[in-house]
């Protein structure tokens, strides 16, 4: 797959809904119910982070069993992470930052990558390598909507998915910016609701998130 085709695939995932749930899952048996609730609520792109031993099994289950889900893998740090995500059935990968080794591996891999940037220099370096879609992380600690909004004029080619400290309350501040395509957030799948399999509550959170309004995009 060409780099441009991979960028288009990432864009398709990010434009499915205003929010990409960022999921930390401890029990893979909860994955299918959770993903079905998110899809039913109108949030089909799901990032399952590689922060627990259950993550890849959760991705396999979602990819195999949940119609309409567009599952990706987050916290991708190495070439092995990319390959494991791809084998598990992920449609995209997300990294908190970028390193030369990871970017080199992504160049040679079929799985599309959404790399992270926290500064304008990092964003420019990723753009030089063809990444028009990037994760802004950690969004709130790094400077929030004021910082990323300031990049819109000098870096109009780049569109961001801010993640890190995003909530239902502050998501509109990011989504109102012309260079933000969506936001990533963990508030849709809190640990308590996952532990109790409260799929109705997760679906309700997803519906609320799906109704957030984007700014007109260029």
**Nearest 10 degrees: Cα torsion 201, 202, 204, 205:** 120
Within a 10 A sphere around the Cβ of 128, how many other Cβ atoms? 8
Mean pLDDT of 56-77: 98
Mean pLDDT of 77-97: 98
Match 């916290």 to its residue by tokens: 75
Residue 102 pLDDT > 80: yes
- Sheet containing strand 116-117, edge to edge, reads 116-117, 133-136, 159-162
Is 210 part of a structural domain of the chain?
no
- Give 216's pLDDT tier (boundaries 50, 70, 90): low
Is 215 part of a structural domain of the chain?
no
Q: Is residue 26 among the annotated active site residues?
A: no
State the Cα angle at 87 between 85 and 88, rounded to 5°.
Answer: 65
Cβ contact 187:164 at 8 Å: no
CATH assignment of the domain containing 119: 3.20.20.70
State the Cα angle at 182 between 177 and 183, rounded to 5°.
Answer: 100
pLDDT for 1: 84
Is 114 part of a structural domain of the chain?
yes
Is 213 part of a structural domain of the chain?
no
Q: Is residue 47 among the annotated active site residues?
A: yes
Q: Which of 6, 47, 91, 203 is catalytic?
A: 47
Is 201 part of a structural domain of the chain?
yes
Kindly report, residue by residue over 103-127, the tens digit of the pLDDT. Answer: 999 999 999 999 999 999 999 999 9
**Nearest 10 degrees: Cα torsion 154, 157, 159, 164:** -40
Please give the residue range of the domain that contains residue 24: 3-205
Q: Where are the beta strands (DSSP E) in 5-101?
A: 19-23, 45-49, 70-74, 92-94
Kindly report, residue by residue over 171-206, the tens digit of the pLDDT. Answer: 999 999 999 999 999 999 999 999 999 999 999 999
Is 217 part of a structural domain of the chain?
no
Is 103 part of a structural domain of the chain?
yes
For residue 81, give the DSSP letter: H
Cβ contact 197:31 at 8 Å: no
Into how many domains does the chain fold?
1
Q: Which of 135, 146, 192, 203 is catalytic?
A: 135
């Amino acid at each position: 797959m060409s780099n441009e085709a991979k960028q288009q695939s990432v864009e398709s995932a990010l434009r499915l809904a205003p929010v990409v749930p960022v999921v930390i899952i401890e029990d893979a048996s909860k994955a299918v119910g959770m993903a079905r609730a998110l899809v039913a609520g109108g949030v089909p792109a799901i990032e399952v982070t590689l922060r627990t031993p259950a993550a890849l099994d959760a991705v396999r289950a979602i990819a195999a069993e949940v119609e309409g889900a567009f599952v990706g893998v987050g916290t991708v740090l190495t070439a092995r992470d990319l390959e494991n995500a791809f084998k598990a059935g992920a449609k995209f990968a997300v990294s908190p930052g970028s390193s030369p080794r990871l970017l080199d591996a992504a160049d040679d891999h079929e799985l599309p990558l959404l790399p992270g940037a926290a500064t304008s220099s990092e964003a420019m370096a990723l753009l030089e390598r063809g990444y028009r879609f990037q994760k802004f992380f950690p969004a709130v600690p790094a400077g929030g909507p004021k910082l990323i909004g300031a990049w819109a004029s000098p870096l109009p080619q780049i569109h961001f998915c801010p993640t890190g400290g995003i909530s239902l309350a502050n998501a509109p501040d990011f989504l109102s910016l012309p260079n933000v395509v969506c936001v990533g957030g963990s508030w849709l799948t809190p640990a308590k609701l996952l532990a109790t399999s409260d799929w109705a509550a997760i679906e309700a959170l997803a519906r609320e998130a799906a109704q957030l309004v984007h700014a007109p995009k260029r």
